[in-house]
Amino acid sequence: MTKQARIRQTILDIPASRIRAVYNAGHRIEGMIPLWAGEGDEPTPDFIRDAAAAALARGETYYTPNRGILPLREAIRDYLKRAYRVDTPLDRIVATASGMSALMITLQCLLEKGDSAAVIGPIWPNGCEAIRALGAEVRDVYLQQSEDGRWVLDLQRLFDACDETTRLIMLNSPGNPTGWVASEAELRAILDFARARGIWLLSDEVYGRIVYGEARAPGRNHAPSYYTLAEPDDAVVIVNSFSKSWSMTGWRLGWVVTRPDLADAIEKMTEFNVSCSNAFAQWGAVTALNEGDAYVDGLVERYSRAADLVYQALAPLPRVRLGKPQGAFYAFFALDGLQDSLQFCLDLLPKAKVGLAPGVAFGPAGEGRIRLCYAASLPKLSQALERLVPHLK
């Protein structure tokens, strides 16, 4: 008798993406306005595409170092000095094949079966599922929503979720899907706790520049950040991506800043995951960093106006509970009486021709909520809201 070869049960048990389920059901519908994914509707700007095309034309099509090409790592260093006013040695920087790859490889370096990770949520599901895929335990610590709709972190609940098995605390600020922005005081408190316990901090800061008003770091154009708070020898990993601030979602490029010993481990594991990032795309990323400051500022200004537009349209509706977003580019609103957010989003596709993400995609605490990505152009976003509002009343 032939014995059946098996797939790891841990992998089989991970649910498929509910956001992808809505996308798969709706992306072929004519006239659909897709607000389900975390990306805008404009292509990468010409100056970045032209740089990558020039690199392709001159034959930049070979393997590159696992850490990324030196000009890209230098551009990351120079960008961090301009935007965050920090000096970051090159031995702490690794360019990666996407922010998600950065997360996955970092987790491979830090977690194994029997470990636990405390995760501040609701959060983008991929990070949690990557932890589970490695056989580690996710301990969810959910933000709470105040009466005025603002998201609030209970630090003591976070600390209580950690024990002798906890190797990692993961946070995403500004956050997807909530738009929560951790204060500098909160980041310091978490860092102090992690230092005392010997716990790694994984800070997903892919939306770090996309922050509005009072949520910004004082006198700066970014959210409070471990770039400015962590010491070089701290057990802190900061993950970033080119996807959001430079409109480069399809390029699959990101970076990590961390302690040199972990940077070496990430370099090693990059070889065994993807070998290296796309060569000519990295040259486009160099130009994005070196020449893209004005573009990022303009994008953030547009997203700020979009956040106001969505809030003004949805917050007055009796069934909707929505706080004014502070960062990222999502409205994560509760809908009174909603019990099956996935089915609601699927049913909405043919009725309104607007694609939204179900709250349950972000964990059990997200059920009863809907995520709307407002990174679309303002005219398209206005049209989507006109279609959507009648179905939320």
Domain boundary, last residue among 269, 292, 315: 292
pLDDT, residue 123, reads 94
Same domain, 340 and 244: no
- List, for the chain, all residue ranges whose pLDDT scores fall below the cut of 70: none
In contact, 64 and 385? CB cutoff 8 Å: no
Same domain, 288 and 300: no
Domain boundary, last residue among 292, 317, 338: 292
- Which CATH number is 129's domain given? 3.40.640.10
Residues in the chain: 393
Same domain, 298 and 285: no
Output the six-digit token pair for 314.
């949805």
* Residue 2 included in any domain: no
pLDDT, residue 325, reads 86
Same domain, 250 and 303: no
Same domain, 154 and 210: yes
Domain extent, residue 341, equals 9-44+294-391
Same domain, 169 and 272: yes
* Residue 4 included in any domain: no
The 10s digit of each residue's pLDDT in 237-259 is 999 999 999 999 999 999 999 99
> What are the distances in angstroms from CA 276 to CA 57, 65, 261?
20, 6, 19
Same domain, 77 and 182: yes
Same domain, 376 and 331: yes
* Residue 1 included in any domain: no
Domain boundary, last residue among 292, 313, 334: 292
Same domain, 249 and 178: yes
Same domain, 218 and 144: yes
* Residue 378 included in any domain: yes
pLDDT, residue 26, reads 94
Is residue 359 exposed (0-12), middle (13-18) or buried (19+ Cβ within 10 Å)? Answer: buried
- Which CATH number is 349's domain given? 3.90.1150.10
pLDDT, residue 147, reads 81
The neighbour count for residue 9, using CB atoms within 10 Å, is 7
Distance CA 149, CA 157 (A): 20
Same domain, 381 and 333: yes
Same domain, 254 and 364: no
* Residue 279 included in any domain: yes
- Global pTM reads 0.94
SS3 content of the chain, % helix, strand, coil (to 5): 45, 15, 40
pLDDT, residue 16, reads 87
Output the six-digit token pair for 285.
């990323």
pLDDT, residue 393, reads 86
> What are the distances in angstroms from CA 43 to CA 40, 48, 95, 355?
8, 10, 22, 19
The total number of structural domains in the chain stands at 2
